[in-house]
Each structure stands twice: as C-alpha cells, then as structure tokens.
Amino acid sequence: MALNKEEQLKIDKDGLDVLADIHRYAKEGFDAIDPGDFIRFKWYGIYQQKPKTDPYFMMRVKIPGGMLNYEQTVVVAELANKFGRGLADVTTRQAIQYHWLQIEHMPEIFDRLAAVGMSPIQACGDVVRNVISSPVAGLDAKELFDVRDLVWDVEKLFLSNKDFSNLPRKFKISISADPRDLGHPDINDLALVPARHGDEVGYHFLVGGGLSAKPHMAQNLGIFVRQEEALEVIQAVVAVYRDNGYREKRNHARVKFLVADWGAAKFLEHVEAVTGKTYTRGGERQIESWNGAYLYGVHPQKQVGLNFVGLSLPVGRISGDILLEFARLAKTYGNGDLRTTNTQNIIIPNVADEHVEALLAEPLLQQFPATPEKFIGHAVSCTGSEFCNLALVETKERMKSIAYYLDEAFPSFDTPIRLHVNGCPNSCGQQQIADIGLAGALVRIDGKMQDAYDISIGGGLGHDAKFNRKVIAKIPADEVKYSIQAIVDHYVATREPGESFRD
C-alpha cells in the first residue's frame, strides 16, 4: 500500500510521542524544531500559524461538551492574555483556540491547563477530537437523559491512548440526548442521538457524516444501544475505522468514505465482530424540528428555579478580559459554570429565577446580548487567512461586516437566517449546513487576485437534513453583502406565511 507523507511520519514516531520534543524545543527555540514534528504537534493541539516562517502557533484547547467551570474559565482567559495577545476564539466544536503562542510558552500552558483538568491533547491530529454535545446537556428539560458522564468517559477512554493515536484521519464524535439535534449529529464521524425502543430510552448510532470538500450525511447503523452499552460500541466504531479506514490519500481517509463504500449494514457487521455482541435492532430516533442549535435568551432548566441564559459572541471571537468577565458573571449569578456552543456562542447556566433580571442588566450583556440582532446572532466563521495557512480569504471580519450590514438593511427581521463562512474548501465554518453559506475563493480582477466567495443556499439539519447548493460563484468580497441582500429580498417578497428560508 502506498502511504502518504503523514502516514509515514506517524510510523516513524507516534504523534503522542512528540511531547518530550516540545519540552526540548521550548528550551532550544523555534529554529531547532524538526519539520516532521510540526505535523506531530497537532496531537497536542498545536498548529503553525500563518505564515509558517514566523515562530507563532495556534492552539486548540478541548472543552468536552462545552462544559467549563469557574477555575477553568479563569485559567483559559489568563493564558489568552499572557501568551495569546488576548485572543480567544470559540470554535464550532465547542473548543477554545489561541493564537500568537510561541514554543517557549508551551510547558507553562500545558501545566496550567492540567492543573484545572484541561488539555489540548488530541484537539487536533489523526485522533478522536473534542467530543461535542448538546451545550445544555444535563440542564434542558427536552433531553431524554443526561449524557455528561458518557461525554467524560469517552474523553478519558481515548485521551493519550496509544491504541487509538494513529487513525487514518481525525475522528469527530457528537453525543446528545436532545431531540432537537443540538449536537449537529449528521455531520459528525460518529453521532449518538436519542432513541426509544418500547419503554426504554437509549441511542441510535450514526456514522460517516462529515463536511470538507465532499460533504456526507451520516448513516444510521439501525441499532438501539442502551446507555450502559454505549461506550463499548463507540470504542468498536473507532477500532473499525482505525483498522479499515483508507490511508492512501489524505483527502479520501475520513470514515465517511469507508461508510459510503461499505454501507451501514457492513459497517455494523464489523462493529459487532469487534465487541462479539449483537445489539438490539430498531427503535425510533427521537427528533424534533432543528433550531440550528441556537439557544439565545432565558430558558428554565429541568432543575426547578434555575435557568440557562444563551448569549451571542459574534463569530466566536472574544478576549481574555471578556472571558474573565463572563467568569465573574457566572460566579455572581450562577454557580460559576459556563457552556460553549457549537454555534460559537456562550451560555451561563444555573441562574436562579431571582437573579435573571440583574444578570440581563449587566453591561457585558449589552455587548454580548441574550437577544442579538438576527444576522450577527446567527453568523458563524472559521479562522480564515488571518491565521490559517490553508485559507484563501479573510473570514471573521468579513462575516461581521456582512452581518452588521444585513441587520441594518433588514431591521426587526422576523426570522433567523443562518450565515456561515469558510475560508477555503475545508469546512471549519460548516458552510454547507448554512441557510446562506460562503466558501472562500479567489478571483482575478484587473490582473490581481482578490478575495471572493461562492454563495450557497438552503442547507440545514434535523428532519430533512440537506447540504446547501451553490447558486453564485466567485462574487468579489466587497459585493457579497449586496448579493445576500438580494437573496433575502427575494425570500421576503415570495415567502408564504410561516415559510422558513430553508423551505
């Protein structure tokens, strides 16, 4: 079998084995770094920042299920301020991403995160990544049961586990028992969604979802998995991928390609061969209408007298100082916990009824509101050319300017229209599930290459999950907002009563 460059690198030295080298490079400096180790750094959440010749790094810090306590939030914020020029981005996998780190900073960052039970280990690389969940797991009355223990068990099972540190590519898991598909299940490599079988509640397992240049919706394995069986089935699914996934071409290595070739039935045969068990067939997936996983405003929790409050972080970018202020508010009005969301927002949970009004009156919530304007409140962006080496175009500032323009053009708009942008054909900004998605491209104007975007419409998850379709190619960056305005104008002029944009 012809192996690609990354496969050979992993055989030469496992990604997890680069830790001692990171500590050595921290003493010897950037110029001492072996080029192959830049790739292995990903196993510790570290990416080279653009341009690769400069001695700066991005780092992703995992937040399983988006669950942060007070001490963790303070450390995450202080590290952003001390080493990352104050920047902290919330990602579409509920993680935090730093920029501007230097190799000399890594030992202290690892130590301080470990002291509060956090880690960047396996936030990147060919491993099981940050496990995402409903951001209100354990809080929301709609969930069939609490998945938080399973999220932590999965994190513990795969963390620094050499049996699973060399997968063909990354592996993304979503676990949720909320019928509104808050964990975006259909676009994950493996998703656990709520199901009923007679009087029992448990999971259906979806495999083979994913975005990037060739998006696939996950397929249902057709088994009803009881909660006590879930961890062994998750481990078996990852083992089947590890042992059978394609390793010849990086762009054909995700589990979605294996599932597409095998089909769900054959994949399940392999899973059951690993565990030596036969799982219950059937059951009904519990699914209600999808709300894009947006949870703005004040919501009563299943714990009587407590509420969670969803707040908007435009395109997920905040500073360490702002995060410290969120930590203070969480401690003052709640129990100190925060939740990050896969829509790049934040939730303050456990706010007693009598404290809600005072929380909503806090100055920080005027900047990061519980009821944001419709377009900026539903805008998602990847990192883009500011820091990402793969980017063709800038994304975060562009998305903000487009969304603010649309909010002015359509004041008091009555329905959310979800805008997502990717800076390249990869899909960290998940543009294929957007109502209106932008994919970065380049266009030659007057002999010069300039930022442009392909525009796609009509994506979404839930009952009739589908990817959006491209309707306009390579619109120059400055004209994109007018094209979107025209699309929204058309929707407003032609919609039937109650017809959503996606319909």
What is the contact surface with ligand SF4 in residues (CB under 6 A)? 382-384, 388, 390-391, 422-424, 426-429
Q: Minimum Å distance from CB 388 to ligand SF4?
A: 3
Cα distance between the two ends of the chain: 46
Q: Minimum Å distance from CB 93 to ligand SF4?
A: 12
Identity of residue 350: N
Q: Minimum Å distance from CB 196 to ligand SF4?
A: 37
CA distances 59 to 110, 123, 337, 395, Å, are 11, 8, 23, 19
Do 469 and 455 form a contact (C-beta atoms < 8 A)? no
> For ligand SF4, which is the closer residue by CB, 233 or 392?
392
> For ligand SF4, which is the closer residue by CB, 103 or 382?
382
Q: Minimum Å distance from CB 333 to ligand SF4?
A: 34
Q: Minimum Å distance from CB 270 to ligand SF4?
A: 31
> For ligand SF4, which is the closer residue by CB, 235 or 383?
383
* Type and span of the H or E element at 347: strand 346-352
The answer for residues whose C-beta is within 8 angstroms of residue 279's C-beta and 6 or more apart is 223, 224, 225, 229, 233, 272
Is 169 labeled as catalytic in the residue annotation?
yes
Q: Which of 15, 320, 384, 423 is catalytic?
A: 423
* Type and span of the H or E element at 306: strand 306-311
Query: Which residue do the tokens 């990604």 mark?
Result: 15
- Helix then strand then coil, in percent of the chain rounded to 5, is 40, 25, 40
Do 58 and 47 form a contact (C-beta atoms < 8 A)? yes
> For ligand SF4, which is the closer residue by CB, 429 or 460?
429
Q: Minimum Å distance from CB 393 to ligand SF4?
A: 8
For the record, the structure tokens of 472 come out as: 């306009």
> For ligand SF4, which is the closer residue by CB, 238 or 382?
382
DSSP class per residue in 368-432: S-SS--TTGGGEEE--GGGT-TT-SS--HHHHHHHHHHHHHHSTT-SS---EEEESSSS-TT-GG
> For ligand SF4, which is the closer residue by CB, 68 or 391?
391
* Type and span of the H or E element at 74: helix 70-83
Q: Which of 50, 93, 169, 254 is catalytic?
A: 169
Q: Which of 138, 429, 437, 459 is catalytic?
A: 429
How far apart CA 347 and CA 337 sit, in angstroms, is 9
> For ligand SF4, which is the closer residue by CB, 245 or 384?
384
| Position of minimal CB gap to ligand SF4 | 423
How far apart CA 384 and CA 45 sit, in angstroms, is 18
Is 62 labeled as catalytic in the residue annotation?
no
Q: Minimum Å distance from CB 387 to ligand SF4?
A: 8
Of 329, 453, 325, nearest in space to 381 by CA: 453
Is 60 labeled as catalytic in the residue annotation?
yes
Is 170 labeled as catalytic in the residue annotation?
yes
Residues annotated as catalytic are: 60, 169-170, 423, 428-429
